[in-house]
Amino acid sequence: MAPGTVTSDAAHNSGDAPTQSTDSRPKLYENVDQDALKKKTSQYMFNYGTKFMKDIICGSKGLYVYTANGHKILDWTSGQMSCLLGHGHPEVVKTIADHAANLDHLFSGMVSPPVISLGERLCSLLPDGLDKAFFLSTGGESNEAAIKLAKVYTGRFEIVAVGGSWHGVTAQALSAQYFYGRKGQGPLMPGTHMLPAPNAYRSVFRKPDGSYDWEAELDYGWSLIDQASCGSLAAVIVECIQSSAGVHVLPPGYLRALKSHCERRGMLLIVDEAQTGVGRCGEIAAIMHEGVVPDILTLSKTLGNGLPLSAVVTSAEIERVAVERDYCFYTTHVNDPLPAAVGNKVLEIVVRDNLVENSRAMGKLLHEGLAQLKSRYACIGDVRGRGLMAGVEIVADRKTKEPAPELSSAVADRAYELGLWANLSSHGSFGGVFRIAPPITITKEQIQEGLELLERAFATTPGVARLY
């Protein structure tokens, strides 16, 4: 059987527990009382905008996480889309231990070897024009810094973003976020504008043959922004793949067209590669698929392999002007040595172990397997993505594309029971989409394991119609 092939036997399997691999469960919290911890969660833990899952997670190793009651789960989302090399990678663990003991945190005006090394390694891997970097903690923070940088550089204040975007929860990042979290806090930053979401599956912009007309959609969006603008357009911020919106890949040519729109208006282009960066999509950065160099690139999540680390990368010229104009983004943890050392180690491993190529090859197997599932189950309306990043959209009817939130939740719950975590985005703006982004260290066998578990979930969930 070819790796990545979903077997019909899996589809007809009654739903017995999957075969467990031989790696051992971490022992750090092996004797906790899950029921007691759940009660304390309800008593002490503040709900910050998500429902806590029913299980307490007490261990993580490689591509697996472990619950307090002993359930072993294949983690197909790399934690919060971040553990690029898997959980507890031994070289990352050693790097953390060495720097925690010897070089952890410094005054923000000090610079250290791991920070310099990370800057050198990162800039050398990126295209010319992305020559200067500094390092922060979260993706939202890096986008906040990038937007402020664009405003200082251009002397303007209006920011354009894309429908369905997710850039963070700090003030300027949230104002440029058109997915969730905008309500309940009064006015956001003035001068924010939205382009239509580039959703090839659901957009109403169609050519006569029914194909997606993203050029007309983009031009229409800009015509509205030009009418709404007060004449102070500073920058556009965009993701190469809109993950939170349902894993929508920018159409070929979209990013280049977007940059042209920016250049005509004297704006900067900011690309947010929180999830797509560092090899996830088959290139070190997803911008390389289009050969487009943004004015500012932000990285986070994957760069720190789950530790709080983000980056803002730009040109020497933008830095020069920013310094002249007193740009300031001075934080407690800017250029901290410990997370920078981890980021440097992550990049070293990705290049040394040919993990970009592995992401490309394993991504091909993943998408072939998901396409096969689509051919077998009527509720799968669309499969999309690039490399080791995939979206599987669940619908009630393929023709009408009506969302099926209850069915998608049932499939997700069944997959979790069987031992697969493939995050289900269930926001009402687009229905239910599985967001799949496993560590790029994943093997053929682990791709196959996940596909078989997902197949079993579809096959054993009531209400799922089979096409075979």
> CB-based contacts of 137: which residues, under 8 Å, 6+ apart?
308, 309, 310, 331, 333, 336, 339
Cα–Cα distance, 411 to 457 (Å, whole number): 6
Which is catalytic among the residues 265, 301, 360, 414? 301
Taking alpha carbons only, the member of 269, 344, 283, 375 closest to residue 94 is: 344
- Annotated catalytic residue: which of 239, 283, 295, 393? 239
Q: Is 239 a catalytic residue?
A: yes
List the structure tokens of 390. 């995939």
Determine which one of 172, 177, 242, 275 is catalytic: 275
Alpha carbon dihedral 302, 304, 307, 308, in 10-degree steps, equals -90
C-alpha span between 271 and 377 (Å, rounded): 35
- List, as own/partner pairs, every contact residues 24-33 make where C-beta atoms lie below 8 angstroms and the sequence separation is at least 24, other chains included: 24/61, 25/59, 25/61, 25/66, 25/70, 25/72, 26/58, 26/59, 26/60, 26/61, 26/66, 26/88, 27/59, 28/58, 28/59, 29/58, 29/59, 29/68, 30/58, 30/59, 32/56, 32/58, 32/68, 33/68
Q: For residue 466, report the phi and psi dihedrals to the nearest 5 degrees.
A: -90, 150
Q: How far apart are CA 80 and CA 383, in angstroms?
A: 21
Reduced to 3 states (helix: H, G, I; strand: E, B; else coil), residue 347 is helix
186 close to 171: Cβ distance less than 8 angstroms: no
156, 374, 435, 456: which is the annotated catalytic residue?
Answer: 435
> What tokens were used for 85?
């090399």
Would you call 206 a catalytic residue per the annotation?
no
Catalytic residue among 76, 166, 222, 421, which?
166
> Catalytic: 413?
no
Cα separation, 186 vs 170, whole angstroms: 14
**Residue 257 amino acid letter:** A
Instruction: Judge whether 435 counts as a catalytic residue.
Output: yes
273 is annotated as an active-site residue: no
Q: What is the DSSP letter of 164?
A: T
Provide the greatest CA pair distance for the chain.
Answer: 68
Catalytic residue among 213, 272, 382, 393: 272
Judge whether 76 counts as a catalytic residue.
no
Q: Can you give the three-state secondary structure of 93-147, one letter per residue?
A: HHHHHHHHHHCCCCCCCCCCHHHHHHHHHHHHHCCCCCCEEEEECCHHHHHHHHH
Q: Which residues contact 292 (CB under 8 A, 6 or more apart)?
A: 255, 256, 259, 269, 271
CA distance 425 to 435: 7
Residues 6 or more apart whose CB falls under 8 angstroms from that of 281 comprise: 240, 241, 289, 359, 363, 386, 387, 388, 389
Please give the positions annotated as active site. Answer: 166, 239, 272, 275, 301, 435
